[in-house]
């Protein structure tokens, strides 16, 4: 019953203070507007050298009125604080009585002790702030007294003197009330601190050794957590109106990591679905899913930054700083980044294509990412090639428009061989190689290249279907094996280098020895 009456009285007092505060806000606006008008009129009068005591007195009166309103507003804040302190004191007394009863019945009071020990530290901080504010108000009262003395010496007509004196008394009265309110709150907080400290000490003495150890451990952990909390939430710097702290950076990075994991899962499922359910080529599927992935990643990062408290204008500052970084040290990275976007959108090179770079690297394109492309060489090596090489350098692709590619396999036979027979056997050998493909637009051809120094020179020009070649299949070697078998079965000789030695002069005894050797051999 007593609590209900006390709460009702508090509610009535709080309602009255809120109504008074609202009325003071209105008066503050009105008096502030009048003061601005008076200052403007006084400025005009000074320029025209027509300053009057009436304007000066009106300006002083309005300034005093505005000061009185602001001081009264601060006094109302102190009265609200007083109600809060009284409520906190009542809450503490109720909780400690409950904790004492539970302690008697065998329950632990560690949570109560640590909670109010922390509350007592907060109350001490508030008390120190009130003491500093009381010292500030004391200086303001001293300054006001000096100002009133100065005004008394410079007042003009008796009417002006009476108006200013009345307003000065009102202002001084508000200052005194304000100081009394602060003093009351300081005393209330001091008594409450002493009461909380005494009760905590008494209840701590009633705890056994285990409870004290537990209390110490909880207090130690709370203290460490407060320090960690301070470090995590300490503002390192600000971007616009957003304070950047370690906890904010950690939250943003965690959300970006989780978002990237989710996007990768969606990307894999999307790739599998498009490959199985549509007739899209593998390269087109890879380009589409990669573009969707990175576009979603950019939008997700923007969304995460927005949820973290960044505004669009603040993000502009970040991207501006990023642009400076690009200009100084990230040209290569962003060159590869935009080159990757070009490759994915133009699709001149797709996953599964066979390419040959100007640097001598040749192989199958296995993956096109936003920064680099993975090329698997015919020797089984995975080469990470920056995307800028595909955009700014010449690239030979064996499967851009289609997968047809013609090979050239040169060979030679002895001069005693029949060219028509050689062509027939070469055609049969080429058709035995499994990678050879023929149709009306891609016929198998054998060319007679010319007369060499030791042989008749030919070449086989077969067409191959490149998507059936997934590594270095040794296809050139396969053609030479097939040719060797055909020529050996047909008795066609393969040439080998022949060297003739021509002697212009020779000693008689050497010539005689050579002739004797020839006679013996015959």
Q: What is the DSSP string of 254-301?
A: HHHHHHHHHHHHHHHHHHHHHHHHS---HHHHHHHHHHHHHHHHHHHH
> Which residue intervals of the chain bear CATH 3.30.70.100?
404-490
The whole-model pTM stands at 0.45
DSSP state of 403: S
Round the CA-based radius of gyration of the chain to a whole number and report it: 48
What is the rounded average pLDDT of the residues 165-179?
75
Q: Tens digit of pLDDT for each residue in 314-353?
A: 566 666 666 666 555 567 777 777 788 888 777 778 887 8
The answer, yes or no, to whether residue 2 has pLDDT greater than 50, is no
**Which residue, 280, 260, 256, 258, is CA-closest to 268?**
260
Q: Check: CB of residue 24 under 8 Å from CB of residue 72.
A: yes
What is the rounded average pLDDT of the residues 191-197?
81
Query: Could you tell me which residues are beta bridge partners of residue 405?
Result: 464
What is the rounded average pLDDT of the residues 192-204?
77
- More confident of the two residues 248 and 446: 446
Structurally, what CATH architecture does the domain formed by 404-490 represent? 2-Layer Sandwich (3.30)
Distance separating alpha carbons of residues 259 and 160, to the nearest angstrom: 72
What is the rounded average pLDDT of the residues 457-480?
75
Instruction: Identify the pLDDT of residue 140.
Output: 76
Distance separating alpha carbons of residues 348 and 333, to the nearest angstrom: 21
């Amino acid at each position: 019953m007593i609590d209900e009456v006390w709460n009702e009285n508090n509610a009535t007092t709080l309602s009255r203070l809120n109504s008074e505060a609202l009325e003071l806000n209105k008066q503050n606006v009105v008096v502030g507007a009048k003061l601005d008008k008076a200052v403007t009129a006084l400025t005009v009068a000074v320029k025209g050298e027509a300053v009057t005591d009436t304007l000066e007195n009106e300006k002083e009166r309005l300034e005093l009125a505005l000061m009185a309103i602001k001081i009264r507003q601060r006094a109302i804040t102190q009265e609200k604080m007083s109600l809060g302190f009284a409520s906190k004191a009542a809450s503490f007394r109720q909780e400690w009585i409950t904790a004492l009863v539970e302690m008697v019945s065998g329950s632990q009071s560690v949570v109560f002790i640590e909670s109010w020990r922390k509350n007592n530290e907060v109350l001490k901080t508030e008390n120190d702030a009130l003491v500093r504010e009381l010292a500030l108000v004391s200086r303001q009262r001293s300054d006001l007294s000096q100002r009133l003395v100065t005004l008394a010496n410079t007042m003009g007509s008796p009417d002006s003197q009476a108006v200013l004196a009345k307003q000065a008394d009102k202002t001084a009265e508000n200052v005194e009330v304000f100081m009394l309110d602060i003093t009351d709150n300081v005393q209330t907080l001091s008594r409450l601190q002493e009461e909380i400290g005494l009760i905590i000490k008494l209840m701590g003495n009633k705890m056994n050794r285990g409870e004290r150890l537990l209390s110490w451990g909880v207090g130690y952990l709370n203290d460490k957590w407060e320090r960690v909390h301070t470090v995590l939430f300490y503002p390192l710097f600000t971007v616009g109106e957003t304070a950047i702290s370690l906890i904010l950076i950690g939250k943003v990075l965690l959300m970006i990591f989780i978002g990237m994991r989710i996007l990768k899962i969606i990307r894999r499922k999307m790739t599998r679905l498009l490959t199985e359910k549509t007739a899209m080529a593998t390269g087109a599927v890879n380009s589409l899913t990669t573009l969707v992935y990175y576009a979603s990643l950019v939008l997700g990062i923007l969304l995460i930054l927005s949820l973290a408290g960044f505004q669009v204008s603040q993000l502009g500052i970040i991207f501006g700083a990023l642009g400076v970084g690009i200009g100084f040290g990230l040209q290569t990275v962003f060159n590869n980044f935009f080159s990757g976007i070009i490759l994915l959108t133009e699709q001149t090179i797709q996953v599964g294509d066979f390419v040959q770079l100007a640097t001598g690297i040749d192989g199958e394109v296995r993956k096109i990412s936003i920064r680099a492309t993975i090329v698997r060489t015919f020797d089984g090596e995975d080469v990470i090639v920056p995307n800028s090489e595909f955009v700014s350098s010449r690239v030979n692709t064996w499967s851009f428009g289609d997968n047809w590619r013609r090979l050239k396999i040169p060979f030679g036979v002895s001069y005693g061989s029949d060219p028509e027979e050689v062509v027939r056997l070469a055609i049969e050998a080429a058709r035995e190689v499994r990678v050879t493909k023929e149709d009306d637009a891609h016929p198998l051809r054998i060319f007679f290249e010319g007369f060499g120094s030791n042989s008749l020179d030919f070449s086989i020009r077969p067409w191959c279907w490149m998507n059936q070649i997934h590594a270095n299949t040794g296809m050139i070697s396969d053609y030479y094996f097939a040719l060797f078998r055909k020529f050996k079965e047909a008795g066609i000789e393969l040439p080998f280098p022949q060297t003739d030695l021509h002697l212009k002069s020779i000693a008689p005894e050497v010539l005689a020895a050579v002739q004797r050797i020839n006679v013996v051999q015959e």
